[in-house]
């Protein structure tokens, strides 16, 4: 399976920087439009067996940047994260890897889970300080 990065809400220079970071690693990037937020993650990532649905997403969705990696080895994931830093993107708080569980979620479901995990980890870091 080819590595694919799903990109949510990256704009202008930040989007160009993500693409520039992924290109030398031969990682495919796919910008997910708000109208596609109801699509299953598997369909967005191009995973066999997951077909796109015809219905557009018409709710509000979310505005946070989120990066979702599909088909990555640990080594390739680390290479991408290092490349993102080299291209000046800094920390991207909401990152996820496509798993056997979340592959059948839509983007909003994944966003809510990733956001909740991020907030919980931030709370724990604050408690440890």
pLDDT tens digits for range 7-16 = 999 999 999 9
The percentage of the chain sitting over the pLDDT mark of 70, rounded to a whole number, equals 98
pLDDT tens digits for range 25-40 = 999 999 999 999 999 9
Q: How far apart are CA 69 and CA 2, in angstroms?
A: 11
Domains of the chain by residue range: 4-128
The answer to whether the predicted template modeling score (pTM) of the entire model surpasses 0.85 is yes
């Amino acid at each position: 399976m080819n590595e694919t990065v799903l990109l949510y809400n990256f704009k202008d220079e930040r989007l160009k920087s993500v693409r520039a970071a992924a290109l030398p690693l031969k990682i495919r990037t796919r910008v997910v439009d708000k109208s596609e937020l109801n699509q299953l993650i598997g369909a967005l990532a191009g995973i066999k067996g997951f077909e796109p649905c015809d219905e557009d997403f018409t709710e509000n969705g979310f505005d946070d940047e989120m990066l979702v990696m599909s088909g990555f080895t640990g080594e390739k994931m680390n290479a991408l994260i290092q490349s993102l830093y080299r291209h000046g993107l800094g920390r991207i708080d909401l990152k996820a890897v496509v798993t056997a569980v979340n592959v059948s979620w839509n983007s909003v479901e994944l966003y809510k889970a990733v956001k909740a995990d991020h907030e919980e980890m931030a709370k724990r870091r604050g408690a440890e300080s």
